[in-house]
Structure 1
Amino acid sequence: MGLRKIVDNLKPTFSKGGKLSFLASTFDAFETFLFVPNTTTAKGAHIRDCNDMKRTMIVVVAALLPALLFGFYNTGYQHYLSQGVEPALWASLWFGFLKVLPIIVVSYVVGLAIEFGFAQARGHEVNEGFLVTGLLIPMIMPVDIPLWMVAVATAFSVVFGKEVFGGTGMNVFNPALLARAFVFFAYTPSISGAEVWIAGLKSGEGVVDGFSGATALEHLAVDGTLGYSAMDAFLGFIPGSIGETSTVAILIGAALLLFTGIASWRTMLSVFAGGLLMGYVFQWTGVTSYPAWWHLIIGGFAFGAVFMATDPVTSAQTNAGKYIFGLLTGALAVLIRVVNPAYPEGMMLSILFMNALAPLIDYYVVEANIRRRNKRVEPAK
């Protein structure tokens, strides 16, 4: 194969003793991205197949594509609605693509530059985790966020969310959510309010009278209504973060993750169950009067349940722990939404809080298993 031959010819230059050996980590990253690594284990029992970390991350990226593509379309759709223009399919899709692409580029350029820099300084292989994180960060941001803010948030999430812990696989918190949390607490006006979710709404140029841009979560917190039809909320024709509005597109990605076995159905299902249960608790006690299932189709709930809570690094590892982690994540998200009207979106804080508790959950699950097994072998008294 021509490409394989080119890579093999370049490899000695980047290998030990070559002129560019100091860039060995960078070369290895590109080589293993293009081809399955040819390294094998020397001893021990291992399962060997072609599904290395890069291939796993690429499947997750593929699962994100339905929500991303709809995010392109919805960005243009909401913009043209705000202008009083009938949204056309291709015009909306193209507008959204041009608006969102720079955010994606900035996220990848800044994040990968830092990843490559740390790998070179440490003499380690480049971690693959940012293939997903670099796409998740733009998808959970408002479309009108300044690009410099995306760059700062991405740098913060990679350095303080991953590298200080040792890189991919060692981090405690989900890096993409740390980027969103950084923007929320450092630059609150750029990620809250009714004007940041629709391109061009802050400038006010050509906006039709009566168009507010408020999200369904904001309507829910203020007057207990969606502000949109439940079908529009489920399909995603509502204002919100770039990749979070369409529950149906997110569920298509969830099906791919579950089919390939990459995401845990225990965690995913438990998050939805926990959120629905907490919603019913508030409904039964008279705190809320709207249907409990509304929480599952608005805001970042579905996106967080499918792509964030199931992160194999920051979630619980034991099977029982995954149920506990998911139930508490969903319940806490709805609790924050209802109890704190000033912060209608609770999914981000819920997942970050549960990321911190995940090791503790696994610890007690393992301890309970040990005690149960010890009782089986204890001699009868």
Structure 2
Amino acid sequence: MKALKKVIHNLDPKFEKGGKWEKAYPLYETLSTFLFTPKHVTKKGAHIRDGVDLKRTMFMVVLALIPALLFGIYNTGHWHYELMSHLNPEEYGAYSDYLVGFGDKVIYGLLQVLPLIIVSYAVGLAVEFIFGFIRGHGLHEGFLVSGMLIPLTMPADVPLWMVGVATAFAVVIGKEVFGGTGMNIVNIALTARAFLFFAYPTAMSGDKVWKSGTNEVIADNGGTLPDGASGATALGDMASLVGDAPVVAGEVLSSEAGSAELIQKFENAYDPLHAIIGMIPGSIGETSIIAILLGAALLLYTGVASWRIILSFFAGGLVFGLLMNLIGANAYMDMPAWYHLILGGFAFGAVFMATDPVTAAQTQYGKLWYGFLGGGLAVLIRVLNPAYPEGVMLAILFMNIMAPLIDHYVVQVNISRRKKRFKTA
């Protein structure tokens, strides 16, 4: 490595200002600082020299996402073959597990998920390099994480061109117009997802997008899904409990059924253990609580993520879920509060989205309020507005906007407290 480092640094004069390849400096600086600690130092004032720079911090987050990514790949293949078993039971068996092995599911899932990741990184890095060349700086580190988060927040069947458009929109409008990494006011990955959610809602919600291959199955089945092959998510079914025609796992229930009966039907269809393991439909990276918590453990152990935000986010969701239980106006409000913590993108958002160091609150007490209100707002959006079954995205984006205000009031409270101490001294 020392020999490689020497070779690379010998090239510095050719890429620096006045050098032969000056215009290619952003590309050179990006590659060299990714491999080795940057030589940049503070010229004045106090500073700390540390080998763990921003690139390596972001790379740690990518490592923490690997368990969720691997499980998402398998889960994508699993639900595809489960869906196909309903269309063609003679070929795939009554249950796909009988005739389709683990390797088949992984290979199918990889073929579906890998293109999403490639498109996300290709488009995002292309935009980053364009702005880098315009501004004369290297590649910003933040997209190392955003490029992985964007596909993990998407359904496996989302068209690739939509991923590309959403990524470009998020990087340009959500990040570069504010000055690049460290200057954005909202989470980049959630900005991409929000763009698709509002621009192309049928590709991001409904009953057709959560199992890969659903559109092909519908086309082969005369325009409908076969019986028992519902493509809905648990949150979608949960939201339907407050409507005139509750639907759980493809079964239309009586609107006259009581809350207890509807909740029991839901719990039978979506076993909490399956939800914790991740064997339910959903976005690629959000289904397995176990995989997400493994990533959380790494982030907390390395000090990359804030335990205050993660813990308070879960606490806020639980408290507001219990508050809904006290109101109890319908079956959705009567749903056990802890169910909200294990379904949908709640855990994924708490660990990987809400903890974004750029868009989250910065003060210690501010982080607690930021996380608590974010988790609570996610539950409120889910329960009070069933049109948005997944309230986590909107809750975190809203709290991103409110984070500076939260920090402001925390600082003001500290200033007032110190003033009182000064007067009594």
CA contact (8 A) 1:154 1:179 kept: yes
1:249 aligns with 2:296: no
Distance 2:389 2:160 in 1: 25
Show the 5 A alignment for 1:1-381.
Answer: 1=1, 2-84=3-85, 85-86=96-97, 87-204=100-217, 205=220, 209-223=227-241, 224=263, 225-226=266-267, 227-287=269-329, 288-379=333-424
Distance 2:339 2:48 in 1: 43
Distance 1:172 1:117 in 2: 21
How many residues are matched? 380
- Structure 1 residue matching 2:32: 3-state secondary structure: helix
Q: CA deviation at 1:4?
A: 2.7
Distance 1:286 1:379 in 2: 49
Q: CA deviation at 1:126?
A: 2.1
Distance 1:360 1:350 in 2: 16
Query: Which runs of 5 or more structure 2 residues have no equivalent in the other structure?
Result: 86-95, 242-262
- Structure 2 residue matching 1:213: 3-state secondary structure: coil
TM-score (norm. length: structure 2): 0.87
Distance 1:191 1:57 in 2: 27
Letter in 2 for 1:257: L
Q: CA deviation at 1:26?
A: 1.3
CA contact (8 A) 1:83 1:208 kept: no
CA contact (8 A) 2:153 2:286 kept: yes
Distance 1:245 1:379 in 2: 55
Q: CA deviation at 1:98?
A: 1.0
CA contact (8 A) 2:75 2:109 kept: yes
Letter in 1 for 2:133: Q
Distance 1:80 1:121 in 2: 47
CA contact (8 A) 2:210 2:283 kept: yes
Deviations 1:16-36 (A, max 9, x none): 222221111111001111111
Distance 1:362 1:5 in 2: 45
Q: CA deviation at 1:73?
A: 0.4
Letter in 1 for 2:177: V
Letter in 1 for 2:407: D
Letter in 1 for 2:51: C
Distance 1:363 1:5 in 2: 47
- Please provide the CA RMSD for this pair: 1.5
Query: Residue 209 and residue 286 in structure 1: after superposition, are their counterparts in 2 closer, same or farther (change >3 A)?
Result: closer
Distance 1:340 1:43 in 2: 53
Letter in 1 for 2:184: N
Q: CA deviation at 1:124?
A: 2.3
Deviations 1:341-371 (A, max 9, x none): 1111000000000111000000000000000
Distance 1:19 1:94 in 2: 46
- Structure 2 residue matching 1:203: 3-state secondary structure: helix
Deviations 1:301-330 (A, max 9, x none): 000000000011101000110011011000
Q: CA deviation at 1:119?
A: 1.2
Deviations 1:177-200 (A, max 9, x none): 000000000001000111111110
CA contact (8 A) 2:156 2:211 kept: yes
